[in-house]
Amino acid sequence: MNVTPAIPERIRKKFLKEILEMYSQGELSASRASQMLGIPRAAFYKILAETKTPLPKKLNESIKKELKESLSIEE
């Protein structure tokens, strides 16, 4: 018989908050964060959007650079 222990809601919320903070700081990849939470990466991205969690600085800069280069090419 496989018994899963009940985890109190406040602990789950704190764990999620910690994971989101670690992702935002660039300490975890989206893939690793979703693994730790036991959810698909798409669900993790949905949580990021819902909680308005900022992207890691390095990723944010990379996206801005790509957009800037893309807009320069189209002109």
What pLDDT, on a 0 to 100 scale, did the predictor assign at position 74? 57
Domain containing 40 equals: 9-74
Residue 56: inside a domain: yes
Our count of domains for the chain comes to 1
Q: For the beta carbon of residue 8, count every other beta carbon within 10 angstroms.
A: 8
Q: What is the pLDDT of residues 13-64, one digit of tens each?
A: 999 999 999 999 999 999 999 999 999 999 999 999 999 998 888 877 878 8
Evaluate whether residue 4 is within a structural domain: no
Is residue 3 a part of any domain in this protein? no
Q: Cα separation of 40 and 62, whole Å?
A: 24
In a domain, 2, yes or no: no
Assigned domain for 1 exists:
no
Residue 6: the pLDDT is 72
